Amino acid sequence: MKQKVNDIIQALKERYPDALCALHYGKDYELMIAVRLSAQCTDARVNLITPALFQAYPTLETMANADIADVEKYIHSCGFFRQKAKDIVTACQMLLEKYNGHVPNTMEELLQLPGVGRKTANLLLGDLYQVPGSVVCDTHCMRICERLGLSKGRDPEKVEKQLRCILPPDESGDFCHRIVLFGREICTARSPKCMECPLAIYCNEINKA
C-alpha cells in the first residue's frame, strides 16, 4: 500500500504540479467564507460571487456588522443563501469576539464556528497553517479514493481517518487539492475518461471490468 500511495502521489504531482486551492481569497477569513459558499455550489460560481461581496465588506469588521439580508443579495446565486449568509456573518462576529480577528488554527476551535465542519476545517488548517495530515474529504476525494482502493465507503469522517493512516502527513493537503483537479478533468462522477487516466493501473472499476 505504501508504494501504491507514493506512486499515485507522484503521478498526480506530475499532472498537477501546482496543488492550489481553486477558491480565490486574499485574507484568512475570506477563505473561510469562500469555503462556506462552496457547499453544494461550484468553486467557479463562488469565485464569481466573492469579488463583489469582499468589495462591499472589505474588512472583517464590516462583514461582522453586515445586515444578513444584504449579504443574501450578494450570494443568492450560490444556493442555500439564507443559511450561508447567517453563518458567514455570525462566524465573522465570533472571529472578532473570541479569536482576535483571526481564523483559529486548531480543529476544535474551527468546529465552533457556524457552518464549519471537518471538511472546511481541514482545508483551512492545511491551506492557512500548513498543518500536516489535513485531509479534505469532499465528493471527489471519496469517489476517487474508493475507486483507487485507498478507502472504503462514503462517510467523510471515516474516509478521512482511513486516508490519514496511509497518506504521508506532509503530502495530504496537496494530495486532496490534486484529487479535486483530477476528479474534474479525468475521473468524473459520470463518464470518467478511463482511456486517458494515468492511474488506471490502480483503479478497481477498470480492473474488475
Q: What is the pLDDT of residues 63-96, one digit of tens each?
A: 999 999 999 999 999 999 999 999 999 999 999 9
Indicate whether 138 and 175 sit together in one domain. Answer: yes
Full residue range of the structural domain in which residue 111 is found: 28-129
- What pLDDT shows up at residue 157? 94
Indicate whether 116 and 44 sit together in one domain. Answer: yes
Residue type, 11: A
> What pTM did the predictor assign?
0.91
Closest CA relative to residue 105, chosen from 87, 88, 76, 128: 128
Indicate whether 75 and 160 sit together in one domain. Answer: no
Closest CA relative to residue 39, chosen from 6, 87, 2: 87
**Based on the structure, what is the number of domains in the chain?**
2
pLDDT band at 209 (very low <50, low <70, confident <90, very high): low
Among the three residues 103, 129, 155, which one is the final residue of a domain in this structure?
129
Residues with catalytic roles: 119, 138
Indicate whether 94 and 148 sit together in one domain. Answer: no
Indicate whether 115 and 93 sit together in one domain. Answer: yes
Element (H, E) at 123: helix 118-129
Cell 469555503 belongs to residue: 35
Residue type, 143: R
The answer to whether 46 touches 23, Cβ cutoff 8 Å, is yes
Indicate whether 50 and 138 sit together in one domain. Answer: no
Among the three residues 129, 163, 192, which one is the final residue of a domain in this structure?
129
